[in-house]
Chain A
């Protein structure tokens, strides 16, 4: 039995938020008292099946067997009923992990290792094809790496969906003694947690992707701009970077290739706007996170005025997969101009909230019901906000949309970073619209007037409408204000804040009367 002596207990933020640490302590005590000293506890990331967390797994000859959601008080009975031997009698047993339908139906590429490996074990990473992409990239010319990424069709997963390879081409072509790779890990959209999970479950994937990006464009320094709200991701990234440095995967001479690549995590300080790439660069430089006008684009004049690749966590992590498996493999997934897979994040009032990585083209309804299982509290779903706080509220008539960038855009909706927040029929859409404006008041950088002032006026007008004051006139005023913000704002913060408001007015007008 000696190869089957591991218990996996997740250590990602969400699992910890549901009590995984207490469960780990309880197992430690149980192992000590039952004299099963050859069994070790592995702290893995999460598979992203969050309604089952803390989900504990044990190795068996048939594969890993899962139990969840486990509370510390369940540990005694789990051990007594033979969990450590992989017996499946306990009511919390979920069977083989890989056979859980929610997971089995998914197409996990970017998240293939999430929850499978110990996130800070380089051995685990290497044993699951890790660093295959970098080793291949070292054999290729910078142009060939960029071509591979272009060929894959990968588009920026942060939300803007700009083709990653084209951005890299610009940076590769720029002449400069110093270039930078900046990872945008300021995942501020409510309803999204894929970046966090990636960093907490498979940090080497991101580190590898950034190193490949460095080789591709000739950058020797990378920064991960991480939001302060992710303390666990911070610890795990720092640990993984130190391990990569010790093993020559980062440093002055990466794997003896003659190329240098250094990596550092920098923390944000609670500012949603710093997810906008130019505000992020200002913040990295030690300034207020004020949006820069474009041009110049960051690819030519980015961090400290130098050519800079700014990519999202998922884009960079996916590059490692593309280089490992080839562009053809990756672009086989997806539809139209949205190629590959998208990690959708099911959140809000859903029974089975979690991470669903699927090829583009799955419908919103499938995500909400086949995966999400409908509402958490059993009430009918009424409204869905996709794409974060700047995304539209979608009524049920739109839920058959195929989730890809173009199909969503055709509805005026936003796919963004793939967050999906569901609301039941108790939602007050006028209150949600007010919140969108209020959020913009709190988070606007203040550089441009439509965003800075418009959001404050938006809150006021919505308050008047909700109070029944000159309702029709004020709705008209709100509509005009929204247009002004969309047309006149410098960046997506002010330019898209009206999207949820306009959609609430259009599809849920009864809530404004």
Chain B
């Protein structure tokens, strides 16, 4: 439960632990034989650990015979990859034209106000990271929002509030163990 406690400060747990390092090594091993393995490796690491730690960049550069600058250049080029830990839930709000045509700009503003976050910021309790996205291919049901693998359509401000409510509601565990 610690990751969902408001007092947890996952952003300080940046130092790479042994578990991360072994995960990084195995993701490199699993992909190294593929032609052009770098993006698959980065995806696997981020899916597993939640971001691309600095140690991963060193490890990848050694294994793929690239410079750290080259690996870092790739990581920083793509909006998807993060070099910092992110929230337990990533909420992406579509900022593209189709959503704009149906109130997407209001929804963007509402999302920022509601969470008190700007793009790419994470809530203090480590629960939610807010990100912009340019099109989720859900343009016939605009405005669209994505949370993890779930895509939501025709999202208004109330729907957004309801979503936050659902995501931040933690099951009560007081009776556990009694």
Which residues in A have some Cβ–Cβ distance to B below 8 Å? Answer: 13-14, 16-18, 48, 50-51, 53, 187-193, 195-196, 228-232, 266-272, 283-289, 304, 345-349, 353-355, 376-377, 385, 389, 419, 421-424, 427, 432, 435, 439, 442-443, 445
16 A-B pairs besides A187-B135, A288-B77, A439-B96 with CB distance below 8 A are: A13-B136, A13-B138, A18-B154, A50-B140, A190-B99, A190-B139, A191-B97, A195-B137, A267-B39, A269-B80, A271-B78, A348-B100, A354-B140, A377-B102, A423-B101, A439-B134
Q: Are the CB atoms of A385 and B139 closer together than 8 Å?
A: no
- Say whether B42 faces chain A, with CB atoms less than 8 Å apart: yes
For the complex, give the distance between the alpha carbons of A17 and B43 in Å: 24
User: Which B residues lie within 8 Å of A421 (CB)?
Assistant: 97-98, 101, 139
Residue-wise interface mask of B (131-172) relative to A, using a CB-CB cutoff of 8 A (1 in contact, 0 not): 001111111111010100111111000000000000000000
Q: Name A227's closest neighbour in chain B (CB-CB).
A: B137
The verdict on A389 contacting B140 (CB below 8 Å), with A231-B149, A271-B79, A287-B74 known, is no
Known: A13-B151, A192-B137, A376-B102. A285 touches B36 (CB 8 A): yes
Q: How far is the CB of A376 from chain B (nearest CB, A)?
A: 6
Q: Is the CB of A17 within 8 A of B78?
A: no
Closest partner residue, chain B, to A443 (CB atom)? B134
- Shortest Cβ-Cβ A-B pairs, 5 listed: A286-B38, A190-B96, A348-B101, A17-B153, A347-B139
Query: Chain B, 64-83, contact with A by CB distance < 8 Å: what is the 0/1 string?
Result: 10000000011001111100
A389 to chain B, nearest CB (A): 6
Cβ of B177: which chain A residues have Cβ within 8 Å of it?
none
For residue B40, CB closer than 8 A to chain A, the reply is: yes
Instruction: Give complex CA distance A283, B80 in Å.
Output: 13
Whether A345 touches B140, Cβ cut-off 8 Å, given contacts A190-B96, A232-B149, is yes
Q: Give the CA-CA distance A244 to B95 in the complex, in Å.
A: 37
* Given A229-B146, A232-B149, A348-B101, also A14-B138 (CB < 8 A): yes
B137 near A348 (CB under 8 angstroms)? no
For B79, the chain A residues whose CB sits under 8 A away are 269-271, 442
24 A-B pairs with C-beta separation under 8 A: A17-B144, A48-B140, A51-B140, A187-B137, A193-B137, A229-B135, A229-B146, A266-B36, A269-B81, A271-B79, A272-B134, A286-B39, A286-B74, A288-B73, A288-B74, A289-B77, A304-B36, A347-B98, A348-B102, A348-B139, A353-B142, A427-B101, A442-B134, A445-B77
CA distance A107 to B14 in the complex (A): 55
**Complex: A196 Cα to B134 Cα, angstroms:** 15
Closest Cβ of chain B to A54, distance in Å, is 11
Task: Name the CB-closest residue of B to A48.
Answer: B140
Cβ A424 vs Cβ B101 within 8 A: yes
Most buried by A among B80, B139, B140: B140
A281 to chain B, nearest CB (A): 9
